[in-house]
Structures are given as C-alpha cells and as structure tokens.
Structure 1
C-alpha cells in the first residue's frame, strides 16, 4: 500500500500500516477488477476497502478452496472457531493477525456494526451444507449475509450526503443485485460445485429442475423452459438494480463515479445474458473489454474532478 494512501487515511501505527499493506497485496493479487475499482476512490478510502475485501476473500477461500481432506464438518468447526476469535478481537479492538487487525481497525474507524460481520459468517456456513434454495425467501436469507452486508460495510467508507440509515437499504440492494447477477452468470460453474443459487419453486413454475439445468451445463445448450426461467430471473434482478439506483446520489460525490461505473458494468452483464438469449451455459457472459476500459477511463476522470471539488475528510 502506498505511503500516500496510508497517510491520507490517517493510519500511523507501524504494525497497522503493515497490516493494511498485506490486505492491499491480497486484493491486487486475487481481486484485480475489484482492485482497479478502488483506484476510482480517494486515497483516504482505499485502505479500508482493501481490508474489507481481504477479510471476505479469506473466508470465501476457506469455503470454496478447502485444504485437502477437509470435510463440511471440519470446515464448519474451523469457521466457528474463526468467527468466535474474530468477534472477540472485534470487541477488544485489536488482533495479532495482520488481516484481521486491519479490518478491526476499519470497523472501529467507520462504525461498522458487528452484526454485519456475524451475518457474513452465517452465510459462509450455509455454503458448507446448503446446495439449493427452495424459495426466494430462503435465498434472500443467504444473500443478506453474503452480499447485502458487504454493501452495508462499505457504505460508511464511501460516505453519504444523507443520514446513513437513509442510504443503507439502497447499499444493501446494490450488493444483492451484484450477487444475483453473479448467480445468473455462473449457473454452470455453481452446478459444478453442486450448488444452485436460483429459487427452486420459481424454476419449477417454468418446468425446470436441477437435472434440466445439469443437462444444459453438460451440452452447452439451452431449452425453452430454461430460457423462460432465466428470463424471469433477469427481470427480477433488474428490479433489484432499480431499488439500488437512488442510493448512488446519496453517496459522497467523490464516491459516485466508482459506484455508478460498477452499477453500469454489472448491469451490462445482464445485457450480455439477454443478448445470448439466456444461454449462460455456452460461455461466460462478459462486458466487452473496450466498453469496460471506456467506462473505467471516464470514471477515473470524473472521480479525479469530484475529489478536487469535494475532498474526502477522514
């Protein structure tokens, strides 16, 4: 992490500066798109975003890339141990683990409430045993901890021009919209892990079950019932984006270019799914690189001018 970012964020203790550097390295190595997005934020905001990403990434990897010989039971026990230790350290305000030290410092600086972290652990545990969701309500329970709370964690770092509680539902909706977009794009990949993140009752209403999705994944083809089902899921996800959109104007002006660009590019994945006639099994839906670069360049320019006119004060 650059000295400029650490100085701008007011991080002075040597051990904390090193902890935040570790988080930045993790973000740069594993979350390249996410890392580039942080460049649109002010230097003062970046360390906190790196810390939050690093924490979420470590837990995701624990579940999705387990050590050889790990079982759901052993992983669940590990997660419970990690959660108990982290919540104890969070209450104490310190940790000897560099990554946790940075996220605990971020939580204290920005007043991120403990339930946001507790809910994330709950959803990570669900991934160990839950392979499908019978209803929208069941999926929403998972998405709250896996995505909505991420929006709520990042919101105080982004800053608002309205009371935080007014912007919070929109921040949660944006996290949810991004997650639902991932679920649609990654149906085949998730099936390979034995999971389906689409409500079974909504699929069944279109005559679709897990076996039919698996056939599509094996063949790279899509049939009319699956196409209808995925079209319905895209429409639902667009409504969540509409719920999130008003929140962008509620953010600190310096944060808006980053979030509005992410909003547009993630929404663009849905455009690509529609353009492929919902066949997410033939290849990964991606926004064209030229469009991504153009959007990023435009956002960087807007972010630069926004920061000049509305400096971020930590």
Structure 2
C-alpha cells in the first residue's frame, strides 16, 4: 500500500504524479472529482492509472498532445507499440527517466496490480487501429471492452482496497458502464474518426444509421435500448460500493453518480449526440460531492439511475 510521503521523497516521482494529476483534472473530471474523496496516498494512484490509459488512447488519436518519449511516427501502430515498449521496459526495470512513466510504474508496483491486465489493455488499444465497427453487443463487449474498460475496473481495485474479492465483478461492470456512456455520448466524435462503437446488429434491427447524424424515430428507439443496457451495468456496479472502505465507497459512488447522469442529459437532448457533447455541469458535480459527504455513498435517489 502507498504511504504518505512516498512521492515527495523523489523529485522525479513528485513531478510525475503532479503531471498525472493535471492530466486527470484536464481530461477525466469524473475520476478527478471522485479521487478527491480519497486520502492522498490513494488519490495519486487513481491519477496514475488514469494517466496510463489516457496516454495510450491519445497516442493513437491525438499524438500531438502526448509528451512521453515515443516514436514521432505517422503510423499510430508504431506509436502505440513504442508506448507499450516504454511502459513494459519501465515496469521490468522498476522505473523510468520519464516522470509520468516513473510515477505510473511506481504506483502499479506498489499496488501489486496484476501485469496480465496490461496485456489485455494494450491488445484492446491495438483493435482501434484495425476495427471500425462491431457486429453485436457480445462482440463489442468481449472483443474490445474487455480490455479497454472492464480491465480498468480491475486496475483500480488494488487502489480502492476492497474488503472482499467479490468486488471484482462490480468493478468490471463499472468500467464497462463508464465506457458505454462514452460511446453513447461521443457518437459524433467517433464518426469523425471513422469508428462506430454501437452494435451493428442493434442498429440494423431498429433501422438506425448514425452516419445520417440526425435524430429519427429509429435512432431514438435504438438509443433508448442502449441507455437501458447502460443503466443495468451501473446498477450491477453499484453492488460494489458496499464492498469498499468508506473513502473508496465515497470515491466510487461519486464517480458513478456523476457519470450516470450523462445518460439523463442524453435523454433530455432527445438522443441528439451529434450537435453537442452532453455534459454534467460543475454545480451538479459539487452537489453530488456534498450529498455523498453529508448522507453517505449508499443512499438511493429517486429516478432511473442508482445514485
């Protein structure tokens, strides 16, 4: 387990953890808000896990934003393999001269994260280079989201220190729930990259075509089905909150409540995910944090989403 003072003792690690925190605050606001409810020795490890996953994703799609030393190659596959090699080498050697990678490796080694998680993660990232569509929900979930989402829940478990191994399945469901919410919110952005993360079988059954970029009765019906599937994942994930110590329970409940509200925003916009990104406003996030602190993480609120 990480201890207070671990990062401050090494200037390189202190810089790396600070950069991981900045990356999380800039891009993963839900993770950032949830992590603020953890003690500092756990908080930095949430930032490290997020940074690893975010950097791998950005190296494929937005390489100009990535500062870690990877090949400046126009081929995203070369960049991703370079990043994986940098990570693997750092993990084997127990450190890196790059501050962010040093912090990531320090965190994962201290927490004892299963190295097998990383192989599943990077294999899923490779699929983004070759796959543009997915035939069925089963194929999307098992073929891609297993390594890009469910495994993230597994990576977070050593940080959150659950009281029982039974927390693994809810953690996996939460990873899947977060990513499916991303898929539903970001349909337009993913189309711009030539990808559709919606099961083709479901689109065909409803006669919905995301490439039209407009809300039709068919689109509404298909999206309503996906939102229901997403809420079922959040409901399953919520079982894990009671399996965590109080700080971890507050962290996860806060993140779950914030992210699941995106589904409400999508519904309120009549399933229009083409013209704007549906977000949860800052004042709502502040209210959620206050409610979790005041009344606890296990309270159920009225409405379609466990909160």
How far, CA to CA, are the matches of 1:36 and 1:292 in structure 2? 8
- The aligned residue for residue 183 of structure 1 is 183
Post-superposition shift, 1:53? 1.7
Is residue 257–residue 302 contact of structure 1 (8 Å, CA) maintained in 2? Answer: no
Verify: 1:107 aligned to 2:108, yes or no. yes
Note the alpha carbon deviations across 1:91-149, whole angstroms, 9 max, x for none. Answer: 33222222111111111111101121122211221112211111222211211211111
- The aligned residue for residue 148 of structure 1 is 150
Verify: 1:44 aligned to 2:37, yes or no. no
Helix, strand or coil for the counterpart of 2:247? coil
Is residue 187–residue 281 contact of structure 1 (8 Å, CA) maintained in 2? Answer: yes
Distance 1:19 1:196, change over 3 A: same
Map residues 3-22 of structure 1 onto 2, 5 A cutoff: 8=4, 10-11=6-7, 12-22=9-19
Note the alpha carbon deviations across 1:181-224, whole angstroms, 9 max, x for none. Answer: 1111111121111111001011111112xxx3121x2xxx3111
How far, CA to CA, are the matches of 1:29 and 1:264 in structure 2? 20
How far, CA to CA, are the matches of 2:33 and 2:273 in structure 1? 26
Structure 1: unaligned runs, 5 residues or longer: 1-5, 304-314
Post-superposition shift, 1:65? 0.9
- The aligned residue for residue 137 of structure 1 is 138
Distance 1:242 1:149, change over 3 A: same
How far, CA to CA, are the matches of 2:287 and 2:167 in structure 1? 28
Post-superposition shift, 1:300? 4.8
RMSD of the TM alignment (CA)? 2.4
How far, CA to CA, are the matches of 1:35 and 1:44 in structure 2? 14
- The aligned residue for residue 94 of structure 1 is 95
Equivalent of 1:59 in 56, 67, 70: 56
- The aligned residue for residue 69 of structure 2 is none
Distance 1:264 1:32, change over 3 A: closer
The normalised TM-score by structure 1 is: 0.83
- The aligned residue for residue 312 of structure 1 is none
The normalised TM-score by structure 2 is: 0.85
- The aligned residue for residue 310 of structure 1 is none
Deviates more, 1:269-278 or 1:101-110: 269-278
Helix, strand or coil for the counterpart of 1:84? helix
Equivalent of 2:263 in 270, 289, 292: 270
Equivalent of 1:246 in 230, 239, 245: 239
Distance 1:25 1:266, change over 3 A: closer
Structure 2: unaligned runs, 5 residues or longer: 66-71, 297-307
Deviates more, 1:26-35 or 1:50-59: 26-35
Number of aligned residue pairs: give it: 288
Post-superposition shift, 1:179? 0.5
- The aligned residue for residue 306 of structure 1 is none
Post-superposition shift, 1:274? 2.3
